[in-house]
Amino acid sequence: MDLVNKSNFKIILGSGSSRRSELLAMTGINFTVNSIPVDESFPVSLRGAEISEHIVKNKSDAFNNLIKKNEIIITADTLVWFENQCLGKPKDKKEARYMLQLFAGKSHDVITSVGFLTTKMFKILTESTTVTYKHLTEKEIDYYVENVNPVDKAGSYGIQDWIGMIGVEYVNGSYTSVLGLPVPQVTNEIIKIINENL
């Protein structure tokens, strides 16, 4: 990513997610992290990608008075969309079990929206990936919930965790988007923004 690192642009990841930070670091792009907590509630009328895009817009708006010339601030939001419901992080282990029971033997969509903010523009890109689980047994669900305790994960699971390894049969779309950041699309957008400003 020499083009990015040798440019006069500073990349800022506006997210407190360690997973997103790890994913972006794997690209070789130099960046700093500055996370500003925002209200992640949304109007009940929104559906699917409308929700993640609404939240990403709010996350980016928090930087409007802070952004400087030649900075690209990247914000992101990931949600699980299942049978017309938005499933966020479970409030406890009981709810985590319930969510995983819903997914067993079925497909759901993992939607990640990413915002790109500069002093000149704001853009959102969204990736939707369909994840299909096998028929999970109660023992498998209990083992995962007790040993991983996925209460900090949207949809009650991390695809990179044990439950994803043994349970996810098919992934249709971007795998890294399910992890929280569609890496190829994000790096392409960063390069595009820099090229447009050379």
Q: What amino acid positions are annotated as catalytic residues?
A: 77
Q: Long-range pairs for 176-180 at CB < 8 Å and ≥24 separation? A: 176/23, 177/78, 177/110, 177/112, 177/127, 177/128, 177/129, 178/78, 178/110, 178/112, 178/129, 178/131, 179/19, 179/23, 180/17, 180/19, 180/20, 180/23, 180/76, 180/78, 180/112
Contact 110, 178 (CB under 8 A): yes
Closest CA to 176 of 5, 26, 15: 26
Q: How far apart are CA 47 and CA 140, in angstroms?
A: 31
Name beta bridge partners: 85. Answer: 82
177 secondary structure, DSSP code? H
Strand 85-87 with 122-133, pairing? unpaired
